[in-house]
Structure 1
C-alpha cells in the first residue's frame, strides 16, 4: 500500500504510550451515524466518552478460521488483550471501508481480500483498566486474508487463527477487549455468509 503524507502522519492512529504522535482527530456522530463534528482522539475516549465513528474488521483464512490479534503492550487503550483482526477510526471525511483496509495493512502488513460491509453497531463500553470509554458508532467489515502476515510490533503483540470452538476456549481463559463480543455478535450474519455452514460461526 503506498504511503501518503496523511498515512505517514497518522500511522499510529490506534495510539501508543510514547506521547510523540501528532494529534489524531476523530469524527463525532449522532445516534444515526451522521457527522456532527470532530474531537481529538484521547478526549473523545475520556469518560463519559463522545460518540464517534469507528470500524471493526473480521478476516478469515481459507479454512474459515478467524484472525485474532493481541494488542501491543505499549498501547494506551486496552493493551495486551485479544481482539478482532483490526479496529480503529476513520480520519474525518475518510470512508470507513477505506479506513478499514488502510489499518489492516498498517497493522498487519497485508491487504484484505473480498472485504465487504457487515452492518453497523452502536455501543458504550468502559475500559476498567484505563478508565477510557468506547462510545462508538462502529462500521463492521468481513473478508479474507490470503497472504502472509507482517505485523507491526508497535501495534500487534501476536496473532492467531482460531476456529469458533477455539475462540470460545480462548475467550474463556484469556483477556479480550471490552467490545469484542459486541462487534462479533453484530457481524455474525455476514460472517456466516462468508464462511458457509461448515464454519461453525
Structure 2
C-alpha cells in the first residue's frame, strides 16, 4: 500500500467544497522482544518517538550479473524521502506472512515479480532518523532473490532505481544519502546475499 495517498475534494449539493476525506488508517503488527505478535498499531504512530517494536521486511534482489537493485525512495514519502535504500522494504498487514508481503510490495513498488526469493534471517534494531524525527523500531524479516522481470516502478513510491556492484555500492554510500536502516539490514542479510550473488559481496 503506498505511503502517500491523494485526496479529492467533494462538493455538497449547495456547491460548497467539503473537507478532503481522511486517508485510510494503515495498521502494523506489533511484536515483543522475541518477534511474537502482541497487537496492532497505526503506522505513523508506531514510528513516532519513543517508537513501538513492529514487524517489517527488507528485500534484496540481484540481476543475472550479481548486481544489487537499489531504489531511491519517492520524494513524496513522509518517512525518509529521496534517499537510496535496498530493493524494497515495508510492513506486512496484520496477519500477513512476511514472505507474502515482501513479494506483494516488490510488485506494487517496482512492477516486477522476484524469482527464487528466499528468507535470509531476521534482525531487530532501534534506529532514529534525525531528518524526520521518526524512529525505526523493527523486527525485520530479510529476503534475498533474483529479478529477471522488466522494471515498471510506481512513481509515487520510487524516484529512481539502479543496479550496482559491491564496489559501486560503497562509492554511492560515500556520495549519496541512504536510509538509516540500510547498513543494518544489509549486513544482516550478507550471508544470504553471498549465497545468491557470489563472494564478491
TM over 0.5: yes
| Number of residue pairs aligned between Structure 1 and Structure 2 | 187
Q: Which runs of 5+ in 1 are unaligned?
A: 1-10
SS at structure 2 position matched to 1:151? coil
Residue of structure 1 equivalent to 2:177: 175
Residue of structure 2 equivalent to 1:5: none
Rounded Cα–Cα distance in structure 2 between residues aligned with 1:195 and 1:25:
34
Write out aligned runs for 1:47-58 (5 A). Answer: 47-58=49-60
Residue of structure 1 equivalent to 2:19: none
Equivalent in 127, 132, 137 of residue 134 of structure 2: 132
Equivalent in 167, 186, 189 of residue 187 of structure 1: 189
RMSD across aligned positions (CA): 1.0
Encode CA deviations 1:7-64: one digit per residue, 9 max, x unaligned. xxxx21xx12757531100000001100000000000000010000000000000000
Structure 1 segments, 4+ long, off by >3 Å, are: 17-21
Write out aligned runs for 1:43-192 (5 A). Answer: 43-192=45-194
Encode CA deviations 1:69-103: one digit per residue, 9 max, x unaligned. 00000000000000000000000000000000000
Rounded Cα–Cα distance in structure 2 between residues aligned with 1:154 and 1:195:
29
Rounded Cα–Cα distance in structure 2 between residues aligned with 1:146 and 1:17:
29
Equivalent in 24, 43, 50 of residue 26 of structure 2: 24
Encode CA deviations 1:114-172: one digit per residue, 9 max, x unaligned. 00000000001111111000000000000000011000000000000000000000001
Give the direction of change, closer, same or farther, for the CA distance of 1:91–1:149 in structure 2 (3 Å limit).
same
Larger Cα-atom Rg: 2
Any conservation in 2 of the 1:113–1:146 contact (CA below 8 Å)? yes
